Structure 1
Amino acid sequence: MSLRFNELAQRRLRTGPEDKVYQVVKLARVIDALAVEGISVENALAGVRISRNATSSPATRVSLNQIIECYRNANKLCRNPHFAYSAGLRFHVTDYGMYGFAMLSSTNYRRTMQFAVKYHQLATPLAEIDFKEAGGCGIWTFTPMAHPRIDASLYRFLVEMQFGITVSLHRDFIGSSFAGRELHVTYGAPDDAPKYSEMFGCPVLFRQSENQLRFDAAWLDCTPKLGSEITYLAVVELCDRLMEDLQLRLGLAGKVRQLLLTNLLRPLSFSDVASNLNMSARTLRRKLREEKTSFRNLVDELRMEMAIRYLRETDLTVEHISGSLGFSDVASFRQAFRRWTKVAPHKFRQMSGETSASA
């Protein structure tokens, strides 16, 4: 697989796994779906550090770590092998506030797709998304985020839930008859593979290079029934303000993360970053400390994310990955990777082989 994920990752704001900046809807909908399966709220929220009442409050903000912990619980406790997809179908445009309203009011579906990618950060993203047209198909590509607690099983969970969410949202703003033409997934065929085509309503191809939802591009030529140019432009303006607000919530640490990522191929030193932000090194160190982080922690966080992506999504050698991430030697990289994930790099790649045909 190519390193296209570098480009995708640079499009979004750099949030840390503990940054409590996202609305609680992606927890609430899954908790509701688990209740239908007979799983208590207490079990669904084990280790998430949030109360049941907080999951129904529009003022609640949660972190990616909290959402992932809840999904780990769901994946472990639910006996329904297709829970993730059915849970994804419970999401609707109304769950996404202004982001969803903009998609609903757009007057052109191709513009809707562009908007969805550009403003995806407002949707509490657990995956990078990309959209293109090719061969008469509209093609959504999904790449689950790199996180040390996302193993092969949870990776599959996230992919299938994202498929469910995407189908549901398209049915909301295009029409209830919307359906995919083909699904591609990177993981191998499960024991109940024959049921997948019936469940998703289209052929499912396993062990592909990317996770993709493909649909007939003719859907994009339809005229939105609820489209309103005036409303759309007004809502996009509100989404711009929400993106600015999110950036402010991320603070200085978010700006440092963004600088580090956009200069991934030529790593910046601490003094370089301070200079880019027009402040002294002493001031930058103090301000990051006030946000309960440090430059070293932010670099470590980015290295961990990229190491996971390289091992999961490419066939680069451990030596190559070590060098590309700026480690002095392979032993140092292996030690750091064990600290991040509790397993050795080769073991992590072996475990991820269930999800990636190229690993």
Structure 2
Amino acid sequence: MTLGIFLSMGGSFKDMAEAGQDELFKKFYLSYFAENFDKVYIFSYENEKERDLPKNVYLIPNRYKLHRYIYSLLIPLINSSYISKCDVFRAYHLYGTVPAIISRIFFQKPFIFNWAYDYKKFAQIEKKFLQFILIFFLKPVAETFASKIFRVDRQYCAKDKDIYLPNGVDTNFFKPMKVKKNKTPLILSVGRLERQKNYENLIRALKGLRANLLLVGSGSLKNKLIKIAKKEDINLKIIERIENTKMPHIYNRADIFILPSVIEGSPKALLEAMSCKLPVIGTKVDGIKNIILDGKNGLLVENDNHNINLAIKRLIGDRKLKEKLAEEARVFVKGYHNLKFLIKLEIEAIKNINT
């Protein structure tokens, strides 16, 4: 059986490398796909070459260097010889379904894609109106033509074609480590520096607390967040890019992980922190409240400065609670978000797909 992979619109190994995600993708997803399929074709939006791929995995580049919007429509036509060889397609995110839909219409090829978060709400929050319009038209078409859809939240598994598949973590890689802690508590959050993550609230919540803040991520709000931190006299450090292989050390250096988002999908950073046995705080919003069980494996708070501040104070001042929540956090991730187990479920679903 031959598998075709459509990355999210504009996606490439170059982008994954810049985000520190390329090794994870190759080590886990591609290695498992290579073991379970005769051949795997990956359609990239960059004119690129990639080394260290399994022998039966082939990278199909955007050799004409077309814009991602145009190329998403033309992938099946330009690469028809490869498309015809594929038995099934795995598309990443709603934005990756455009070439999959066209392949379904013209080549009768089935596809499956993952619905990772509420794309409309994300676009609204970040005021990306062109994306909102694209989603409005693309969503019903993708859901109609897809043979199966991976959903990260059970509450959205309403149709026969929906399959519950949350994000997973390699618990052998993201694990507790013995590292020297800081004298001053270190608060950590990992994510894009955009409105959806709500880091302005987090910075203001630290006012008056003896704690340092580390944000790992890049985005359009970087300079604004730095200005707010200076105004509030908060010791803020931002690391824009870091290899995924170094993240376990970053998590283990921290004392508390916080995700103050206004909405989430199935946040990998939260799961990685929990897997590293780090006490976590999250806001009571979709995508977080179905992972954090308040008082058991973390703390859930209302999305305002005052309540975030109180939760941080509570953990800093209660060592036993921190240890209890951290212990239960890792147990939860190992039981419900083990990446190796979830990849096997994904492969099984792809192999059993019906046209």
TM norm. shorter chain > 0.5: no
TM-score, with normalisation over the residues of structure 2?
A: 0.29
- 1 or 2, which has the higher strand percentage? 2
Structure possessing the higher relative contact order (Cα contacts under 8 Å, 6 or more residues apart): 1
- 1 or 2, which has the higher helix percentage? 1
